[in-house]
Amino acid sequence: MSDYSSGYNFGGANADLGNKKQEVMDKVRGELALANAQELINKINEKCYEKCVPKPGASLSSGEQACLSKCMDRYMEAWNVVSRAYVSRIQRESAGQSSTF
């Protein structure tokens, strides 16, 4: 009987599985955050450069620099507003779902 029961510690296995699952979830969250940051930078570069630098040259004029700075600030503010609204919506929806169980 000891041959069958040795090595089976289901409580420990469940804890290990829970830890592994948490590690994977944390890694996925980190990768998503990185992907979101990269997307933000790419969009800022694309949109603001198109708007502020109509004729690319060897350097940026002071007006182009000011335009880029303001555009980046506005874009990031808008991104943050949308992100907060999205997170708030997800939290409301998950709170509504958990109360139905």
**76 contacts 40 by C-beta, under 8 angstroms:** yes
Dist CA 95 CA 97 (whole Å): 5
The whole model's pTM is what?
0.59
C-alpha gyration radius of the chain: 24
Q: Which amino acid is at 72?
A: M
- The better pLDDT of the pair 82, 4 is held by 82
Mean confidence (pLDDT) of the chain: 84
Is the domain spanning 12-98 CATH 1.20.1050.10? The answer is: no
